[in-house]
Amino acid sequence: NAGVTQTPKFQVLKTGQSMTLQCAQDMNHEYMSWYRQDPGMGLRLIHYSVGAGITDQGEVPNGYNVSRSTTEDFPLRLLSAAPSQTSVYFCASSQTYQGYEQYFGPGTRLTVT
């Protein structure tokens, strides 16, 4: 099993550009989520999904879209990149949510200039 994979590993965008961060898991997990990590802020939940076709907002959803068309994939779309979105983005998955270990991907480091 590859676990949780994320692409790209690094990305530089100009303000106003759009892009999609890819996330895939091969563990047949129901629950997937996206976090951003900023210095001194810990990790904050952007969006999450409890199954294919179901998504919901987390703590900091503005400027991001998600969809879950399959169990395996959970892409994160930046609609119009802003410097405030410079961060490290982590995707995570778990068998379900309460009490189960979340498996994290290696992260995508995004810089918006």
Partner 1 sequence: GDSVTQMEGPVTLSEEAFLTINCTYTATGYPSLFWYVQYPGEGLQLLLKATKADDKGSNKGFEATYRKETTSFHLEKGSVQVSDSAVYFCALSVQMSGGGADGLTFGKGTHLIIQP
Residues that bind partner 1 (CB under 8 A): 4, 33, 35, 40-45, 48, 50, 56, 58, 90, 92, 97-99, 101-102, 104-107
Q: Of the two residues 18 and 96, which places its CB atom closer to partner 1 in the complex?
A: 96
In whole angstroms, the minimum distance from the beta carbon of 15 to partner 1 comes to: 27
CA distances from 38 to 10, 46, 82, 88, 94 (A): 15, 13, 15, 7, 23
Q: Of the two residues 17 and 103, which places its CB atom closer to partner 1 in the complex?
A: 103
Is omega for the bond preceding 8 within 30 degrees of 0, making it cis?
yes
In whole angstroms, the minimum distance from the beta carbon of 45 to partner 1 comes to: 4
In whole angstroms, the minimum distance from the beta carbon of 100 to partner 1 comes to: 8
Exposure string of 91-100, with b = 16+ CB inside 10 Å and e = fewer, is bbbbeeeeee
Report how far residue 37's alpha carbon sits from residue 41's, in angstroms, rounded to the nearest whole number. 7
Q: Of the two residues 16 and 106, which places its CB atom closer to partner 1 in the complex?
A: 106
Q: Of the two residues 17 and 86, which places its CB atom closer to partner 1 in the complex?
A: 86
SS3 content of the chain, % helix, strand, coil (to 5): 5, 50, 45
**Tell me, what amino acid is at 54?**
I
In whole angstroms, the minimum distance from the beta carbon of 19 to partner 1 comes to: 20
